[in-house]
Copies of this chain bind each other. A is one copy, B any other.
């Protein structure tokens, strides 16, 4: 099935391994991104609607037409416990496609949160519900239900390819996508990275310099860095 086909709902998708997802949920977005080799991030305009929001789950992808949230209702039925809806739009759009009614429906289906490259509304209610959302905009503007998109096709969301079943991790730093088949390995690498950082943090707190801890002085000198006394 080609990317971007319109008018399609794929019912049965393969989701990332549950244990790997559980393990990934313990790490921050920045750590996971580094553990993956510095790839996988959505663009930084994707911001949480409230401070402290965080989520880790498997992607149910949605492709919508600008100003039209019809497919979000279709997507609700495809959500399984542990899923995160990931919504891409065929063109840049900031309309408020999602609000507290859809959040109620998503949650009733086991949906954990939403990542949407468009706008959302009812943000005060969403924050009170503790329903985590990352979006490109907050907008009260309502949408129509007139044009088909798709559910569970590969999408490009905020500059990143997302396949149905991939792991989505999001926190105050942004949103990272872990390809389904890499989930377990990335979880292991993230854990290793966080351990190593913990050790480094202690040394830095005691006043050691990164220049020494990471052994940068020689490479800096070789690159030509010059220290001037005045």
**Alpha-carbon distance between A37 and B8 when the two chains are bound, in angstroms:** 13
- Partner of A140 from the list B100, B159, B176, B197 (CB cut-off 8 Å) is B176
Is A174 within 8 A of B7, CB to CB?
no
**Alpha-carbon distance between A104 and B199 when the two chains are bound, in angstroms:** 12
For window 182-230 of A, CB contacts with B under 8 Å fall at 182, 197, 200-201, 204-207, 209-211, 214, 216, 220, 223-230
For window 13-35 of A, CB contacts with B under 8 Å fall at 28-30, 33-34
With A30-B96, A140-B41 known to touch, is A145 a contact of B204 (CB < 8 Å)? Answer: no
With A174-B140, A205-B108 known to touch, is A159 a contact of B159 (CB < 8 Å)? Answer: yes
Expressed in whole angstroms, the minimum distance between the Cβ of A131 and any Cβ of chain B is 12
Is B3 within 8 A of A92, CB to CB?
no
**Closest B residue to A54 using CB positions:** B124
Per-residue CB contact flags for chain A residues 54-76 toward chain B (1 = under 8 Å, else 0) read 00000000000111101001101
**Alpha-carbon distance between A210 and B61 when the two chains are bound, in angstroms:** 18
Give chain B residues whose Cβ lies under 8 Å from the Cβ of A30: 96, 99, 121-122, 140, 142
**Alpha-carbon distance between A142 and B7 when the two chains are bound, in angstroms:** 16
With A38-B90, A147-B146, A172-B138 known to touch, is A105 a contact of B161 (CB < 8 Å)? Answer: no
What is the interface size of chain A, counting residues whose CB is below 8 A from a CB of the partner?
A: 103
Expressed in whole angstroms, the minimum distance between the Cβ of A79 and any Cβ of chain B is 10
Give chain B residues whose Cβ lies under 8 Å from the Cβ of A154: 161
Is A172 within 8 A of B124, CB to CB?
yes
Is A210 within 8 A of B122, CB to CB?
no
- Partner of A179 from the list B3, B147, B171 (CB cut-off 8 Å) is B3
With A67-B90, A68-B67, A140-B33 known to touch, is A156 a contact of B148 (CB < 8 Å)? Answer: no
- Partner of A173 from the list B10, B37, B122 (CB cut-off 8 Å) is B122
Q: List 27 A-B contacts (CB under 8 A).
A: A2-B179, A4-B37, A11-B229, A12-B229, A28-B122, A29-B140, A30-B99, A30-B140, A44-B137, A65-B67, A66-B67, A66-B95, A67-B147, A73-B210, A74-B216, A76-B210, A104-B204, A105-B209, A107-B205, A108-B204, A108-B205, A124-B173, A138-B173, A146-B147, A147-B223, A148-B223, A154-B161
